[in-house]
Amino acid sequence: MKRKFRIAFSTTQIIMISFLAAILIGSLLLALPISTKSGEPIPYIDALFTATTSTCVTGLVTVPTVTTWSIFGQAIILLLIQVGGLGIITVMAGLMLVLNRKMGLRKSTLICDSFNLNSLFGLSDFVKKVLVGTFLIEGVGALLYMTVFVPDFGAIGVWISIFNSVSAFCNAGIDIIAENSLCDYALNPVVNTVTSFLIISGGIGYIVWIDVLRVLKDAKKCGIRCFKKLTLHSKIVISATAFLIIAGALAIFIFEYNNPLTIKDFSLFDKIQVSLFQSITTRTAGFATIPQENLTNPSAIICLLLMFIGGSPVGTAGGIKTVTIVVLIATMISTIKNKNEVSLFDRALSNQITRKAVAVTGMSFAIMFISTVLLSATIDASTLDVVYETVSATATVGLTRNLTPFLNIWGKIIIIATMYFGRIGPISLAIAFNSKKEAVNNIKNPTEDISVG
C-alpha cells in the first residue's frame, strides 16, 4: 500500500504563495491582447511588473496605466489592488462568510496571521467589520470623487472615481486620470481632501478603526478624555500618524517654499495644501501632485524617511510601520536613560515586541540596501533617484523620480522582487523560510559582556 505524502506549509508560507499566485494569474491576464487599448499584447515583463505593483499595492508602473490598458485590463488591475489591499486570505474568508460556511482552526489561523493578530477570539466579526468598513469608505470616496471627475470626464468619470477610490484606500497609488498622476489636480481641494482621507483610512489600520468606534460610543460621557480609553496600540498609531503628517508637511513646506519647480508660485493656501498632500502620500500611497524629480534634495530625503516608515500595522499601507519606529525610539530613549524597561503611555513593552521591531527594521533595510546596490549596477542614474526608487518599492509606496519608465529588464526584475518582498513583510519572510521547527531551548548559554558603540 502506497503512503500518501502531504507537504505541510506554514501559515506564512501559504500567504506568500497566495500572493505569488495572484501575481502570476494577473500577469497572464494582463498579457492578453484584450487587456490593452491597442489590442496588441505588451511584453510579458511589463505585464508581470503591473500585476506585481497592483497586488503589492505599490504604484510604480513601467507603462502608463491610463493610455496602455483597456477597460478589461483596468478592471484586472483594480481587482488585484483590492485583493492585494485586503489580503487574499481576507477575501477568501469574506466569501466563506457570505456562503455561511464555518471557518476551521486552520483557516482561522491563516486569517489571524495575515492580519498579524494575536488572538482568534471574535475573528469572524472582525473580518465582517473590515469588509463592510472597506467597501463603505471606498463607496463614499467614489461618490465624492464623482463631483469632480464626472463633470470633467463625463460618464467615464464614474469608473475613474471608483478606480481612484479603491486605489487610494488600498494605498496603491495607481490612477487612470493622466500620465502625470494627480498633478493636474494639485490645487483642487476636493481631490486633495478625499484622496488624503482615503489614504489615511486605509493606512491607519483596521484595529484602530474598531477601537475608535468603540470609544466614540462613550464620547458623550468621557468627552476629550476618550483618548485615554483607547488601547495602547491605537494611541501609538494615532499620535505617530498625526506627528509624521504634520512634521513632514512642515519640512516640505519650508524646503519647497522658494522652489520654482514645485510650489514657489502658489498662494499660501495652495502651498500648505500641496505640502500636506505630499507628506500624506509618501506614507505608502504613491499619488503625486508635484513631480518628485523636482523636489529639492532636503525634501527628497524627508520623503525617503516617511516612505521607509510607512503606515500602520493591520492596514493597507507598507513600510516598517509607525508602531515599529515608535518602539525603536522608545527603546533608544530607555537605553540612554539606563531604564530597566521600555514604556509608552505608562505601559511597559515586552522584550518580544522590541526584538520584533528591530528585526522588521533590519530586514527592511537589508532588502532596500541589496535592491539599491543591484539597481545601481544595472542602470545609469543618480544615487538619489535609485534610492528613491528602491525605498519606494520596499515600502510599497509607488513614488518615483521618473526612473521607473526607463528601467531595463534587469532593473524591472529587481524592482518586482523588491515590491513582492516589501509587501509580504520582512519578518514574515524570515518566518516563512524558517521551516525547521526547533524545540524551545531551556538551557541558557553563559553571559559575557562585549563593547557596543
* Contact in structure between 90 and 130 (CB atoms under 8 Å): yes
The pLDDT score that the predictor gives to residue 313 is: 85
CA dist 290 and 109 (Å) reads: 43
Cα–Cα nearest to 244, from 274, 276, 270: 276
The pLDDT score that the predictor gives to residue 318 is: 87
Averaged over successive runs of 10 residues, the pLDDT of the chain (453 residues) comes to 55 78 95 95 96 93 95 96 79 63 62 60 74 92 97 96 95 92 95 96 88 78 71 92 96 97 95 96 91 96 95 86 94 90 88 87 93 96 96 94 95 96 72 51 73 73
**Residue indicated by cell numbers 502506497:** 2
* Contact in structure between 244 and 322 (CB atoms under 8 Å): yes
CA dist 58 and 53 (Å) reads: 5
The pLDDT score that the predictor gives to residue 440 is: 53
CA dist 175 and 161 (Å) reads: 9
Burial class (CB in 10 A: 0-12, 13-18, 19+), 201: buried
Cell numbers placing 294: 523636482
* Contact in structure between 167 and 140 (CB atoms under 8 Å): no
The pLDDT score that the predictor gives to residue 118 is: 57
If residue 359 lies in a helix (H) or strand (E), which one and from where to where?
Answer: helix 351-378
Q: Which residues contact 196 (CB under 8 A, 6 or more apart)?
A: 276, 277, 280
CA dist 198 and 192 (Å) reads: 10
pTM as predicted:
0.89
CA dist 327 and 343 (Å) reads: 9
Half-sphere exposure of residue 95: CA atoms within 13 angstroms, side-chain side: 9
Cα–Cα nearest to 346, from 207, 228, 204, 444: 228
The pLDDT score that the predictor gives to residue 6 is: 55
The pLDDT score that the predictor gives to residue 210 is: 84
Cell numbers placing 347: 505601559
Question: Which phi and psi angles does 169 have, rounded to 5°?
Answer: -65, -40
Cα–Cα nearest to 80, from 419, 425, 433, 428: 419
The pLDDT score that the predictor gives to residue 428 is: 67
Long-range CB contacts for residues 93-97, cutoff 8 Å, separation at least 24? 93/127, 94/127, 94/131, 97/124, 97/127, 97/128, 97/131
Decide the pairing of beta strands 342-344 and 347-349: antiparallel
Question: Which phi and psi angles does 51 have, rounded to 5°?
Answer: -65, -40
349 bridge partner residues: 342
